[in-house]
Amino acid sequence: VLVKRPHGIPQPGDFEVRNASIERPFTAPLVVRNKFLSVDPAQRGYVNDENSYLPPVPLGGVMRAMAIGEVIHSVDPRYAEGDHLFGWFGWQDYCVTDSASVLRKLNPAHGPLTLNLGVLGINGMTAYLALYGIGAPRAGETIVISAAAGALGSVVGQLARQAGCHVVGIAGDDDKCRVATTRYGYHAAVNYKSAVPLPEQLKAACPRGIDMYFDNTGGWILDEVLLLMNRHGRVIGCGTVAIPSWLPQPQGPRQEREILMRRLRMQGFVIFDHQHLFDETAARLAGLIEQGVLLYDEDIEDGLESAPAALAGLYQGNNRGKKIIRLAPGISTS
């Protein structure tokens, strides 16, 4: 439950675990037992008093989160007891809700349940739909991806490599850079915290300039990448984790002249606009996993009470792969 309105990055003290009971027989149209909770950078926007694409979680309200849960009661003929659903079920053990919270019913043939939070969830689907929908990659083009080894970046990197691009990652430590190149197919990866300035590293890694930038960070990293973009380049805006707080409005170099002179196209992408494509996209990605050409990593922690610190840790780059909270330790992932 959110108990304090955070400024900037939400911290563990902004949340409390509270007990409540659900009366039986169930009167709500849908009740699910959560098994896995998602931890996502976008959750910051759900709790801050900043303009977001959703109204902020009220103080005293259950933290908004995507989760995977099993149906234990349903009046909707599409969802039967025992089905697993992906939806807006919150950071809680049980969700008493209705069908409007459901994002999709999971296909057990697609592998372990947890995949549906990351590589087959909003991360994989964002990678797929934003890269192809906005980026329209062409073989031989150079793409730079920030948060390169994260749950989203790792999928973008692999898909871009398969599209024939020269793929360069940006990450915040050498280990993530190594994972990007050895595991996720990046041609090169640069550490923005290194002693060598980022522009210098990027110039060396992108000898033909940059045609696409898949931006998960915003901020000064975006500023530096823009100055290396080729004409008619595309910037896919998917996240702003490099900005610690949007209140007050942070300042930066004006970009309108670079956008004009370089004829750039900069476009924001929010996966929830594309819900009609979720099933189809998850099936495509599941096919790539089955063929062994799409790798993923998960970083699973146990217990509802660990969720707030896991969220704060995302902004420090602590996670390795998709951050997931497992409820009731010992639940099988299959």
Q: Could you list the residues that contact its own copies (CB under 8 A)?
A: 45, 50-53, 215, 218-219, 222, 232, 237-240, 243, 246, 249-270, 273
DSSP assignment of 46-102: HHSSS--SSPPPPTTSPPP--EEEEEEEE-STTS-TT-EEEE---SSSEEEE-GGGE
Q: Is 195 left (phi over 0), alpha (psi -120 to 50) or beta?
A: alpha
Nearer residue to its own copies within complex by CB, 18 or 132: 132
Of residues 186, 55, 181, 41, the one with CA closest to residue 122: 41
Instruction: In angstroms, give the least distance from the CB of 227 to its own copies.
Output: 9
Nearer residue to its own copies within complex by CB, 265 or 320: 265
Contact of 304 with 328, CB cutoff 8 Å:
no
Distance CA(91)–CA(65), nearest Å, equals 6
* Residue 59 burial (CB count, 10 A): 12
Instruction: In angstroms, give the least distance from the CB of 54 to its own copies.
Output: 10
C-alpha pair distances (Å), 248 with each of 128, 136, 252, 253: 33, 35, 13, 16
Instruction: In angstroms, give the least distance from the CB of 127 to its own copies.
Output: 16
Instruction: In angstroms, give the least distance from the CB of 26 to its own copies.
Output: 36
Contact of 334 with 62, CB cutoff 8 Å:
no
Contact of 66 with 103, CB cutoff 8 Å:
yes
Instruction: In angstroms, give the least distance from the CB of 82 to its own copies.
Output: 37
Instruction: In angstroms, give the least distance from the CB of 10 to its own copies.
Output: 17
> Residue 49 phi/psi, 5° resolution?
-85, 45
Contact of 14 with 308, CB cutoff 8 Å:
yes
Instruction: In angstroms, give the least distance from the CB of 50 to its own copies.
Output: 8
> Residue 35 phi/psi, 5° resolution?
-115, -40
